Amino acid sequence: MANNDPKAKKPRQIDVLDPQDDSVIDQVPRHTAQEMHEAVGRAAHATERATRMPVHERMRVLRDAADYVENHRQDFVETIAREGVKTINEARSEVARAIWTLRLSADETRRIVGNTIAFDQRPGSENRFGYSRRIPVGVIGAITPFNDPLNLVCHKVGPAIAGGNTVIVKPHSATPLSALKLAEAFEYAGVEEGILQVITGDGSDAGDALVTDERVRMISFTGGRKTGTKIIQRGGLKKYGMELGSNSPTIVMDDADLEQAIPMIVGGAIAAAGQNCLHVQRLLLHESIYERARDMFAEAMSRIRYGDKRSEDTDMGPLIDRAAADRVEQGIREALDAGARCLTGGERDGNFLAPTVLENVPDTAEVAVEEVFGPVTCVSPFRDEDEAIARANAVDYGLQAGIFTSNVDTAFRIADALECGGVMINDSSDYRLDAMPFGGVKGSGIGREGVGYVLNEMTEPKVYCFNIRFPRGWT
Ligand code: NAD
C-alpha cells in the first residue's frame, strides 16, 4: 500500500517510469543532501585541474563527447523516448541538437577572450597598460527539467567545461537516464574525475543541498518559475542563470499566409505535448480572419495522432505523470466553468491529453495567465496591432513570441513592442537555434543561454593592470 506520509523515509532508489504507461524502466540512486555536499567537495577539489585544462584539451573533450553521442545516437534516442514525454521523432531531433550543442561548445572555447583596457583615458593613468581575461566561475550547479532531458543538460555542461569550470548536474528525477548517459560520453572523452558529476536525487533534498552549498559559485537552472524563485531565496550570494517558463503568444495578422502559418502553429502547440517553454499557449488572430484561422487550427489539432511514443506514426506523447495530467485537466475544466468553449480536445486517457483548443477564455483563467505546460492553446480575436501587442504583453512572462504577417513594417513594429527575449517572424513562438541568445524577461528568467552567451555568464573578467615605469625622458 502506498505510504502517503510526507515524513516517511523514502526508498534509496528512485523508480524511473515510462510516462505513457507508468511501467518502471530503471532505477537510479536517491542521493541525499549529505552525498550532494560530498560531490560538491569533489568538484571543488577538481576546480584547479579544470581551470588549468588548456583550451585545446577542453575542445578535444567536448568533441569526443559529441562523437560518442553521435556513435550511440540510437541508444540516446530510445532513452529520451522511454523516460521522457517525446515521441521517437522528437527524440531524434533532440539528440541531433545535443550533438550540435556540444560541438558548438567546443568551437566557442577558443573564443573566450578578454579585452585590452584604455587605462590612459584618465589623467594620471598614462603609465598603465592592461587587459582582462575571462576566468572560470568555479563549481557550477546545473539543475535541469524533464522536457529536454539531454539537450538542456548539454547547454549547461558544454559551456561549463568550455569555460574551465567543474559542474554537477542534478537532473529531474523523472528523466535522469539521458543525463547519466551523457556522463558516460564525457567519461569516454576522458574528462578528469570531479570535473563533471551527475547526481540524482530529490529537488528538495539533493537539489537544495547543491543550491545552498557555499562552494557552489553559480546555479544554472532551467525549470519552473516557483522552483527558480525558491532557489534564489535559498541559495543566497552566488551567480544565477534562470531559464524559466512562459505563456507564449503567437499573433496572426490579417495579411498572413494561413496555409503556411497554421501547420507551424500546430507544431508549436503540440511539441513535447505542450511541455515546452516555447509552447504556443495563446494564439491571437486578427478579427477579420478569426473564424477561418480558428477553424483551420482546431481542425488541424483534431487530426494530431497521440499515443505510443515509439511509433513512427505518433505526433504527440503523454504528459510526464498523473499529477501533471490532473493539473492540466483541472485548468481546462476551470476555464470551461468560467465560460470558455472547447473547440477540440479536452479528453483524457491516463497520462495522455488530447490536443485542446479553447476560445472565449476569460483573461483571469489560470490557462490564460499562467503557464499551462500541456497541449492546450487558447485562441482569441484582436481588433488591431495595438490590441494584439497589449494582449500579448498582458502576462507576467516573456520568453518568446511569434508573428505571422506579410508586411515587414508591421512585423518590425510589433516585434519591437513585444516584451520578451525573442520574436519569431513568420514562425510560431516555438523556434530555437542553440547558438542564439535564449532567455526571457519578466517572470521568464534571468540571463541568457545559447552556448556563446552562457559562456559569458560562466566566466568572469579578471583585470591585469601593469603600472609601467618608463625610463626618464621616454615619450
Ligand atoms: P521543476 O521546476 O519542477 O524542476 C526543475 C528541476 O528543479 C528538477 O531537476 C527538480 O528536481 C529541481 N528542483 C525542484 N525543487 C528544487 C529545490 N527546492 N531546490 C533545487 N532544485 C529543485 O520544472 P520541470 O517541471 O522539470 O520543468 C518545467 C518547467 O521548466 C516549465 O516551467 C518550463 O517552461 C521550464 N523550462 C524552461 C526552459 C527555458 O529554457 N526557459 C526550457 C525548458 C523548460
The chain-wide mean pLDDT, for the chain, equals 97
Mean pLDDT of 388-398: 98
* Predicted confidence (pLDDT) per residue in 216-241, tens digit: 999 999 999 999 999 999 999 999 99
Residue 474 has pLDDT above 90, yes or no: no
Question: From the CA of 203, how far away is ligand 1's center (Å)?
Answer: 9
Q: Residue 375 and residue 457: Cα distance in Å, rounded?
A: 33
Residues 6+ apart with CB under 8 A from 310: 78, 81, 82, 87, 88
Residue 5 has pLDDT above 80, yes or no: no
Residues contacting ligand 1 via CB (< 6 Å): 143-148, 152, 170-173, 203-204, 207-208, 211, 222-224, 227, 230-231, 243-245, 277, 371, 373, 399, 445
From the CB of residue 3, how many other CB atoms can be counted at a distance below 10 Å?
A: 10
State the pLDDT confidence band at 42, using cuts at 50, 70 and 90.
very high
Residue 256 has pLDDT above 80, yes or no: yes
| Domain boundaries for CATH 3.40.309.10 within the chain | 249-425
pLDDT of residue 4: 55
State the pLDDT confidence band at 471, using cuts at 50, 70 and 90.
confident
Q: Residue 319 and residue 429: Cα distance in Å, rounded?
A: 21
> Grid coordinates representing 95?
539528440
pLDDT of residue 432: 97
pLDDT of residue 235: 98
Residues 6+ apart with CB under 8 A from 456: 134
Residue 175 has pLDDT above 80, yes or no: yes
Q: Which uninterrupted H or E stretch holds 386?
A: helix 385-392
* Predicted confidence (pLDDT) per residue in 52-110, tens digit: 999 999 999 999 999 999 999 999 999 999 999 999 999 999 999 999 999 999 999 99
| Domain boundaries for CATH 3.40.605.10 within the chain | 13-245+440-462
Instruction: Answer yes or no: are the C-beta atoms of 143 and 172 closer than 8 Å.
Output: no
The fraction of the chain above a pLDDT of 90, given in percent, is 96
Residue 7 has pLDDT above 70, yes or no: no
Q: Residue 375 and residue 209: Cα distance in Å, rounded?
A: 34
| Catalytic residue list | 243, 277
Mean pLDDT of 396-410: 98
State how beta strands 356-359 and 196-198 pair.
Answer: unpaired
Query: Could you tell which of 222, 238, 322, 328 is best to mutate to test the pocket of ligand 1, judged by most ligand atoms within 8 Å of the CB?
Result: 222
Q: Atom 42 of ligand 1 has which residue's CA nearest to it?
A: 277
Instruction: Answer yes or no: are the C-beta atoms of 149 and 80 closer than 8 Å.
Output: yes
Query: CB-hemisphere CA count at 13 Å for 203?
Result: 20
Using the atom order of ligand 1, give the atom closest to the CA of residue 145. 26
- CATH C-level class of 13-245+440-462: alpha beta
State the pLDDT confidence band at 2, using cuts at 50, 70 and 90.
very low
State the pLDDT confidence band at 470, using cuts at 50, 70 and 90.
confident
pLDDT of residue 321: 98
State the pLDDT confidence band at 362, using cuts at 50, 70 and 90.
very high
Domain 249-425 = CATH 3.40.309.10: yes
Query: Could you tell which of 155, 227, 229, 327 is best to mutate to test the pocket of ligand 1, judged by most ligand atoms within 8 Å of the CB?
Result: 227
